[in-house]
Amino acid sequence: MARTNVKARQRENEGSRSSRGSGADVLKSLRKAIRVLECFSLQEPRLSLSDIARRAQLPLSTAHRILATLRGAGIVEQEGDRELYRLGLKLFELGSMVLANMEVHREALPFIEELSRESGETVHLGVFDGSQVVSIEKMDSPHGLASQVTIGKGAPAYCTAVGKALLAFQSESTIDHVCRLGLTRHTPQTITDPGKLRKELERIRALGYAVDEREHQPDVRCVAAPIRDHTSNVIASMSVSGPATRIPKERIPLLAVRMKEVAGKLSARLGYTGRHPVNSP
Amino acid sequence: MARTNVKARQRENEGSRSSRGSGADVLKSLRKAIRVLECFSLQEPRLSLSDIARRAQLPLSTAHRILATLRGAGIVEQEGDRELYRLGLKLFELGSMVLANMEVHREALPFIEELSRESGETVHLGVFDGSQVVSIEKMDSPHGLASQVTIGKGAPAYCTAVGKALLAFQSESTIDHVCRLGLTRHTPQTITDPGKLRKELERIRALGYAVDEREHQPDVRCVAAPIRDHTSNVIASMSVSGPATRIPKERIPLLAVRMKEVAGKLSARLGYTGRHPVNSP
DNA sequence: GAATTGACTTCCGGAATACGGAATTTAGCA
DNA sequence: TGCTAAATTCCGTATTCCGGAAGTCAATTC
């Protein structure tokens, strides 16, 4: 009995330590391996053992053991025997499967192309990962400027059109979470006040589209509309974006109408009927 | 001296046991987690706990614990609390980084577009994962037929043009490995005899390009050429492919010249100078 | 070319951690 | 409402992993 209580208490403590809600603190070894993978970034795609050990806060021998296992599975790669590590092909294969199975991505492709052609600007499709926007498709118009955003890389949700169009339809607690992570200023126009952000999201819900008024990159405007699936939940959003000179404020209302129209068509293809949300108890 | 030899032999044994290069049998828990991820496929992207436990040959409770941890990290996702599991966004993010950091992919894009436009056929860029080809980019010509191949999915190395162009320049032991895995017949033209395959690879090395003579898909012909980097190693290959009616045998020599030319240009951009291979001791 | 340095790799005993069978809960179905 | 199949949780055990330390290797310096 005494023993059981001790264990239970230990588990509780561990739970509160992670402070991340519905996660699990179990499988510490696996968590460490994930920490190792998270060390890699677009900026630093190649890391040495000691770099990784430092970043993941693991002893050298532990990091080494994890990397050896990951390498054996093709999840990380290493040129020679004593070279830098990088993420491996297996990870790419697994990652591609995520997209291939994402219905919205498949269904969106023709709409994205159509929008890109008719607007002459860059079109984005993004989903929400709980705190950031992940761009899952982008198409640059041949005439437009190539956009800076990379597919697969996270971008802030609170200062991009795609992000705000998604964030506006998330739960209150999710919005709280994003605010708590901090609203970092990227341009003079970035909304950094949680109160103002909430007002903005309110407006987005009312209008049915979001505008990025040079809030993320200077001199870039975007217009985005939310996409719903058969459960009526907003699961993605779509934007057009371009240099502020080419997308003046006057052009926004028309673009917004068009984006809402296309997002509506796409939502319909995903089974959205406009009825009340399906409750998941 | 003696000691060093013993160690070297041990390493060799491990290598041959796992049959995948320098694997490691350490970290069983991590290996189990990887087995779980490998259960998912394009055909079956959504699996229940018991499906996964069966496929990965794990007890239910173990599989459940692993999935809970992976879910906590966003590597797998689950709609409701008791729904099917699927691969998660985090995996997509990690996977995209692999491509973004792959120099050959970046540098190849303009060449791929050029080839696709001028040939009017589908163009592929692939790399070798040790036993299969992984397509890392593909571009369908607007006039051509949309190809069946999916980016990120592995395809056989021994019966595709991209695959053979890569395989021809791999080590003898790698070629052995591929033969040992089996040369499955896909069409009447598939080369299923290891001896004949070796002859074919020989020919490819001599000519500098590979032809898929309807060996993988019936009535599809491809021509591929290898791409080298600054170490002179073949690291990727590029192909044009189309229906046999539109790519008759007579057209192959010209296509081959063109593919070799483009592959050469791309290799040059990757630092290939045509000098002798850099030896890695 | 010997010695120093810094980084990577392996070893090993202890104990924390993960295992997995069994019990419990949940949901769907008859 | 009771039944079945699946998911989830429990908990004692012992397997597996941990991580400090010793060993190896390669590059650089003197």
pLDDT tens-digit series, residues B43-93: 888 899 999 999 999 999 999 999 999 998 999 998 776 788 999 999 999
Nucleotide nearest to A59 (CA to C1'): D19
Residue A281: pLDDT band with limits 50, 70, 90: very low
Q: Count of CB atoms within 10 A of residue B254's CB? A: 10
Question: Which among B29, B34, B154 has CB closest to A73?
Answer: B34
Separation of alpha carbons A99 and A101, rounded Å: 5
Q: Where are the alpha helices (DSSP H) in chain B?
A: 2-18, 28-38, 49-56, 60-72, 89-100, 103-119, 161-167, 172-181, 194-207, 252-269
SS3 (DSSP) at B77: strand
pLDDT of the residue at B82: 72
Tokens of B245: 């009616």
pLDDT tens-digit series, residues B152-210: 788 999 999 999 999 999 989 899 999 999 999 999 999 999 999 999 999 999 999 99
Name every residue whose Cβ is closer than 8 Å to that of residue A1 and which is 6 or more positions away in sequence: none
Q: How far is CA B137 from CA A219, B128, B133, in A?
A: 32, 13, 12
Count helices and strands (H / E) in chain A.
10, 8
Contacts A37 to B, Cβ<8 Å: 94
Return the axis-axis angle of helices B49-56 and B60-72, rounded to nearest 10°: 110
Nucleotide nearest to B69 (CA to C1'): C18
Separation of alpha carbons B153 and B117, rounded Å: 24
* CB contacts < 8 A (A, B): 178
Q: In which residue are the tokens 């008024």 written?
A: A213
Q: Which of A59-68, A143-152, A199-208, A217-226 has the lowest mean pLDDT?
A: A143-152
> Shortest Cα distance from B61 to chain A (angstroms)?
12
Q: Which of residues 17-36 of A touch strand D (CB under 7 A)?
A: 28-29, 32
Classify residue A278 by burial, with Cβ atoms within 10 Å: 0-12, 13-18, 19+: exposed
Mean pLDDT of B250-259: 94
Question: What structural domains and CATH numbers belong to chain B?
Answer: 25-93 (1.10.10.10), 102-269 (3.30.450.40)
A80 CA to C10 C1' distance (Å): 19
Residue A142: pLDDT band with limits 50, 70, 90: low
Q: Which residue of A lies nearest to B39 if distances are taken between CA atoms?
A: A94
> Shortest Cα distance from B8 to chain A (angstroms)?
13
> Shortest Cα distance from B200 to chain A (angstroms)?
27
Question: DSSP states of B13-40 as a string?
Answer: HHHHHHTSSS-----HHHHHHHHHHHT-
pLDDT tens-digit series, residues A195-228: 999 999 999 999 999 999 999 999 999 999 999 9
Q: How far is CA A164 from CA A217, A234, A235, B213, in A?
A: 15, 12, 13, 51
